[in-house]
Structure 1
Amino acid sequence: MLTYLTELDRRGFQLIHGKASRHGFQRSALRVSATGDGPFYLYLSVGLLLFDSYGNQFFKLALLAFTLELPLYLLLKNSIRRTRPCHAALGFECSLEPSDKFSLPSGHTAAAFVMATAITCVYPAALFVAYGWAGLIGLSRVVLGVHYPMDILAGAALGTVSVVWINSFY
């Protein structure tokens, strides 16, 4: 079963990455991915904290969720130690050199889904924009050749569950 899922994941990666490469989406993917690097989250959180009546609630929820998500992400990534597609000799060039060697779960996607879920908890009307943006960040990581689709799903689950769990106590 694990072999089947791994092969399905590899094929999904090759399909997405191949189509995106043929259509020249790497540059757009780099821009989308960069919105998940971290500073944007800080600017958004501080901006809402200073200028919105629900900003304090959002800031606390996001901060506590990241406090849970980040250690879990590091534990999973360094325990599973899955080789990134760009380092797995699949016969393609990587559009970006990742900051570490391992791919599962996707940290960019986990962080994006922390933000999307926190935004949705505090600002429900932003659901489609928040999750659409987070999904594009995840997709961009596959297009750039640094993650498999299952890495993205794992990151999305980790980010979402972190916020939901924190919010249940909050």
Structure 2
Amino acid sequence: MNILQNIHAFDVQAFYWFMARKHRALLTRIGRAISFTADGPLYVAGALLCVMTGYEMLALVLTVGFLLERCIYFILKRSCKRNRPADILDGFRSYIIPSDQFSFPSGHTSGAFFVAYCLSEWFPAFSFILYFWAVNVGMSRIFLGVHFPTDTVIGALLGSACAAFIIGVLI
């Protein structure tokens, strides 16, 4: 058994553990709302708000960084082509219809960690809240049944790495 098969086996076990939680139905309802907060249009609105309130450099970091993050995200998504849980696991149906076919990495999680990292640089007093939100975005994607745990972990790493890189380059 190679390393990828071991990771996948662990991922499936962890996914089933999440799905077996006693309050999964409540977590799924909450997850829909949390996941919505990480949809792309809200990020555009946030960048525009930054410009309107005098945070032009933050808006530039968010815009250029998102372009970088999305490029890497799409390359990974299209090259890895990992199927979503509902496509792999017998008898399982996700609680939402995903926006694309493949699972790896989680774009919602990547975007959330990117934003959390960037905003934490400008507003460090809000770091805990921002990262709490980002972690919950990742968890919501698992509870909604559209991602395996490692999809969200790699999404978090991708978003954080892109934010660190772009801030290092532009600031």
TM-score (norm 2): 0.92
Deviations 1:93-135 (A, max 9, x none): 2100111111000011111111111101221111111111111
The secondary structure found in structure 2 opposite 1:91 is: coil
Shift of 1:19: 1.1
Q: Which residue of 2 aligns with 1:74?
A: 74
The reply to whether residue 105 of structure 1 matches residue 105 of structure 2 is yes
Q: Which residue of 2 aligns with 1:133?
A: 133
The reply to whether residue 59 of structure 1 matches residue 45 of structure 2 is no
Residue ranges of structure 2 left out of the alignment (5+ in a row) = none
> How many corresponding residue pairs?
168
Shift of 1:20: 6.3
Distance in 2 separating the partners of 1:36 and 1:102: 18
TM-score (norm 1): 0.93
Where do 1:17-166 residues align within 5 Å?
17-19=19-21, 22-51=24-53, 53=54, 55-166=55-166
Moved more, 120-129 or 75-84: 120-129
Cα contact 1:120–1:130 (8 A) shared by 2:
yes
Distance in 2 separating the partners of 1:67 and 1:9: 29
Letter in 2 for 1:36: A
Cα contact 1:20–1:143 (8 A) shared by 2:
no
Distance in 2 separating the partners of 1:20 and 1:14: 12
Residue ranges of structure 1 left out of the alignment (5+ in a row) = none
Q: CA RMSD in A?
A: 1.4
Provide closer, same or farther for how the CA distance between residues 151 and 20 of structure 1 changes in structure 2, counting only shifts above 3 A.
Answer: farther
Provide closer, same or farther for how the CA distance between residues 100 and 23 of structure 1 changes in structure 2, counting only shifts above 3 A.
Answer: closer
User: Quick one: percent identity of the two aligned structures?
Assistant: 33
Shift of 1:67: 1.2
Cα contact 1:117–1:163 (8 A) shared by 2:
yes
Cα contact 2:85–2:92 (8 A) shared by 1:
no
